[in-house]
Amino acid sequence: MTRVAIATCRGEDVDIDTPILLAAMERVGIPATMCIWDDPEVEWNNFDLTVIRSTWDYAPRRAEFLKWAKAIDRLHNPFELIEYSTDKHYLSDVQAQGDRIVPTAFCEVGESPQFPESDFVVKPCVGAGSIDAERYSPSQVKEAEGHVQRLHQAARDVMIQPYINSVDVVGERAVIFIDGRYSHAMTKGAMLNTTPDARDTLFRREQMSRAEVEPEALEAATGILATGGYSDLLYARVDLVHDGEGWALMELELVEPSLFLSFNLEAADNLARAIAKKIA
């Protein structure tokens, strides 16, 4: 019997999309089981396919996560992509390939940070959602330096980006692709306009809404995937912001992005069919 493992992390009701995807898998006639990625009891290679979905606790222990992923014979998205895109240094490659990104300065462990003269964001190069990310004003340099120091002490490289003010007005545009085709888009409201304790570990649901994707945003997202060779993935999410001149890449989510299936039930069926194709 064909079986699929859906990889998640520990916790109660981790992902609101979980029951939606499991139901869609049932409709295509393929049993799917939610499995915790770091559970030593799971025999991953007994499954016909493992699909990474909500492994959202991997960031502080990326090496362990990569070791787990490399040991799985049949994995999507594939290991090489997971290894590459779990570290946001990939933004430099995206820019070098000619696509627009939010201006990003990397501050490796041991280096001294340099901050913009306008509001800016400090976050780890390996991270999930808004965890360990914070917005600062030019008058908060000492606080920002402390943030960088704490991340460096945890052996985590840092990235520094100017805060894009349009996020407060129009939000980010999350452009979602399933089986290499555009599926739907979401507006992600500002995440860093409240205290860390008030944020959900993934997203504040009230900050999410369906969006009619702008043609320019869809063109930018499609182009970024094509340039990088990512046009035929099981799933991808391209997070864009408008910087006043055009759409720029904030993050390229190719490992475990929320696909917001609860906002588009048809997308769940499309994903289930795409998973079935990967098995065939």
Q: pLDDT tens across 158-182, in order?
A: 999 999 999 988 899 999 999 999 9
Least confident range from 2-6, 127-131, 267-271: namely 127-131
Answer yes or no: is pLDDT of 249 > 90: yes
Instruction: Identify the pLDDT of residue 207.
Output: 76
Mention every residue, 6+ apart, whose C-beta is less than 8 A from residue 251. 88, 239
Q: Tell me the whole-structure pTM to 2 decimals.
A: 0.92
CA 109 from chain centre, in angstroms, equals 23
Work out the angle at residue 268's Cα, subtended by the Cα atoms of residues 265 and 270, and round it to the nearest 5 degrees: 115
Residue 236 has pLDDT above 90, yes or no: yes
Q: Which residues on adjacent β-strands are paired with residue 159?
A: 106, 123
Distance CA 153, CA 231 (A): 37
The pLDDT of 191-203, averaged and rounded, is: 50
135: β partners: 121
Give percent above pLDDT 90 in the chain: 86
- What are the DSSP calls for 182-199, one per residue? EEEEEEE--SSSS-GGGS
Cα-based torsion angle of the residue sequence 259, 261, 265, 269 in order, rounded to the nearest 10 degrees: 60
Residue 182, CB half-sphere, CA atoms under 13 Å: how many?
Answer: 19
Within a 10 A sphere around the Cβ of 222, how many other Cβ atoms? Answer: 16
Contact between 112 and 126 under an 8 Å Cβ cutoff? The reply is no
Categorize the per-residue pLDDT at 199 as very low, low, confident or very high, splitting at 50, 70 and 90.
Answer: very low
